Structure 1
Amino acid sequence: MGAFITETIIKVLVVVLVFSFLGGFATYLERKVLGFFQRRLGPSYVGPFGLLQFGADAIKLFTKEDILPSGANKIIFGLAPVVALVSAMTSMVAIPFFPNFEIFGYKVTPIISDINVGLLFFVSVGAVGIYAPLLAGLSSGSKYSLIGAARACIQVLSFEVVSALSILPPIMLVGSLSLVAMNDYQNESVLNWLIFKQPLAFIIFLIASYAELNRTPFDLLEHEAEIVAGYCTEYSGLKWGMFFIAEYAHMFAFSFVISLIFLGGFNPIGFIPGGIAIILKVCFFIFLFMWVRGTLPHIRPDQLMNMCWKVLMPIALVNVLVTGIVLL
């Protein structure tokens, strides 16, 4: 029992530290990728190739003055970024990141808790993150923050429905909500990947993930061209940084989940070991997130809602119906 508790604590610390680092480092990668697309250098002065730029940014965030607006609710204003970060990190509890491996003869299972409703846990706990922009907008005492919070409720709640509907067909095929079971279902060959059996579900879930993560072209929660910085308008310093670490950490979590559900997870591909295979898949989706941001323009709120309720929702429902008929 003691060994299990110790192992779990170590896993939690590793996940928090690794994804906090990756969340910060992803800001450097994104600036480099966007710089490449836009024919500019991106970070280049701090360290070789600008590699230490995210470290300099972290120092700036830790030492920058933490401003509290005079009209803000102090407790809720400080709680909002904590909710964002805790939601993003907690959603990773049921994600199997890699295949099992051994360290000095001790078998390590790279998942904090292998619960049989892992996918439901990921979706539901991730959805709790909506309280972060909501609380931030309501507590800031700013109309810009309030507008951003209102958009957050509309956008995230709408796409949560579409996201849940899109993963129903894969769940029906696998017969389990466990992400480990999802991975094991696709272990025979590449042709057994669920992306080939459920391409519509994959596309809808991917689009919904962009909207839930507030990624361009769906970044209406923080649309700097219209409402300054949305719900983050009144934030500065470390609190502001926590929102963005949470966003990038959640982006890595979604990349792992999409890989596990639709692209064979950590099953080996030919001569490529499973651990390296899932890293390559996650890197592809992270690059895709950045590629889309550098390519597509913003869309209007009405266009986003029309796409959600009039396009994606009917397609997701039809996909569930067709899958059910085929299985019966």
Structure 2
Amino acid sequence: MSQIPFLAIVLTPLVILALATLLTWVERRLLGLWQDRHGPNRVGPGGLFQAVADGIKILFKQDWIPPFADKAIFVLAPTIGMMTVLLSFAAIPFTAWSSIVGTLNVGLLFILGMMGLGVYAVVLAGWASNSKYALLGGMRAAAQMISYEVFMGLSLLGVVMIAGSFNLHDIVMAQTHCWFILPQCLGFLVFLLAGIAETHRLPFDLPEGENELGAGFHTEYSGMKFGMFFIAEYAGIILISSLVTTLYLGGWQGPLLPAALWFLLKTTSVVIFFILLRAALPRPRYDQLMALGWKILLPLSLLNVTATGTILMLRAAG
């Protein structure tokens, strides 16, 4: 039995990395379908091996460090980005019994803390590159991520208040009779928008806006270090989708099908929605992105906390 946690620690990051790599192919195929064009269809059945070909290309591509960069920090930045995302999965309960750290009492806080540390990756990448374009992209990314983490945390207060716990297992069990997406529809909307901004996904990919910044904070990166940023972004999509499933869609709970399959189906549905947003929406200006957060999402999240607290107090008094 002592080998089971060790195997979970070793296999979970490998599975997440494999899923993130596969997601690049899924995204291309779905974008091709929705935009009425061919996606990858040359390498393997349905272009399935295109993701493998891209991985091989990144592995063997020249890993160049600019002579004007701070080499130690330049290498450390993508490592931080990758590790914070992978560590966040340790507290996700995929079923009632499958979580690397077990029933962690502060599991939700642990994940928010790891996501907060991810800001260091983009800031250090932009600063260590010693490039004005990368630095500007890093500053944009830091402002965007720190701002939207505020709204993300506030949106989750309603879930914590209803469940009475930061334990993700307890939060899932509290949704046995009603998924939190119904009583917490406002918090769900704020969390989803904050999650899109946190992962730099379209339409909120301003830190990597090519029309202004080249490629944002990773402008000077190449080879596997760029690949780490790239895969970390797709792993972040899976992480946010898993959190949406756990916090608002009842987690692994569902009739007839096995628990793990329910979790997979719900998470996959949210991932597909992320991809659909890329196909459907244009990119706003940076000032519009920040205005959306501070002028709209912040009041909505505070309203959600106030309404939830009032209803709970009235129930307790009644």
TM-score by length of 1: 0.93
Deviation at 1:247, TM superposition (A): 1.0
Contact 1:11 1:112 in 2 (8 A): no
C-alpha separation in 2, matches of 1:175 and 1:99: 18
Contact 1:12 1:112 in 2 (8 A): no
Q: Deviations over 1:205-258 (max 9, x none)?
A: 000000000000100111112111001111111000001111111211111111
Contact 1:159 1:212 in 2 (8 A): yes
Q: Find out whether 1:81 has 2:84 as its counterpart.
A: no
Partner of 2:152 in structure 1?
A: 163
The partner residue of 1:90 within 87, 90, 93 is: 87
Contact 1:47 1:53 in 2 (8 A): yes
Q: Find out whether 1:272 has 2:260 as its counterpart.
A: no
Q: Deviations over 1:125-176 (max 9, x none)?
A: 1111111110100000111101100101110000000000000011000000
Partner of 2:210 in structure 1?
A: 224
Q: Find out whether 1:238 has 2:236 as its counterpart.
A: no
The code of the aligned residue for 1:13 comes to V
Contact 2:91 2:100 in 1 (8 A): yes
Within-5 A mapping of 1:285-296: 285-296=270-281
C-alpha separation in 2, matches of 1:55 and 1:245: 13
C-alpha separation in 2, matches of 1:273 and 1:46: 33
C-alpha separation in 2, matches of 1:276 and 1:110: 15
The code of the aligned residue for 1:213 comes to T
The partner residue of 2:169 within 180, 185, 191 is: 180
Q: Find out whether 1:299 has 2:288 as its counterpart.
A: no
The partner residue of 1:131 within 111, 120, 124 is: 120
**Structure 2 residues without counterparts, runs of 5 or longer:** 314-318
Q: Deviations over 1:111-135 (max 9, x none)?
A: 3332101011111111111111101
**Structure 1 residues without counterparts, runs of 5 or longer:** 101-108
Partner of 2:27 in structure 1?
A: 30
The code of the aligned residue for 2:59 comes to F
C-alpha separation in 2, matches of 1:13 and 1:248: 20
C-alpha separation in 1, matches of 2:135 and 2:18: 30
The farther-off stretch of 308-317 and 273-282 is: 273-282
The code of the aligned residue for 1:310 comes to K
The code of the aligned residue for 2:169 comes to V
Partner of 1:152 in structure 2?
A: 141
Within-5 A mapping of 1:199-210: 199-210=185-196
Contact 2:204 2:289 in 1 (8 A): yes
C-alpha separation in 2, matches of 1:251 and 1:121: 18
C-alpha separation in 1, matches of 2:168 and 2:100: 10
TM-score by length of 2: 0.96
